[in-house]
Amino acid sequence: MCAAEAAPSPEDKALAQQLLASAPSGKKRNRPGRAPLPQNLERKERTIHVPAQDCVCSHCGEAKKLLGYETSERLAIKPV
């Protein structure tokens, strides 16, 4: 199984959160950002798998290592 196809372990997620928290925030903007979504809303996790041929280096044939994750939240409203 390719490293990109494996689900992230809780340790990997915790490490990613630590890295994001310790990263410099950069230049501060004068305008406010969006408020975080309420915690009581349902969350769905979606994993996008990479094709197996993209998990192997085309030069040496070794398995590629997982570089990181991207996370985002989007509010979806279902009409009643």
- Rounded mean pLDDT, 2-30: 68
pTM of the model: 0.38
How far is it, in rounded angstroms, from Cα 48 to Cα 38?
25
pLDDT tens digits, one per residue of 35-69: 888 889 888 888 888 888 888 998 998 999 888 88
Q: What's the pLDDT score for residue 1? A: 45
Ranges of each domain in the chain? 1-7+48-67
Does residue 10 carry a pLDDT above 50? yes
CA distances to 6, 35, 42, 43, 61 from 39, in Å: 27, 12, 8, 9, 44
Distance separating alpha carbons of residues 80 and 74, to the nearest angstrom: 19
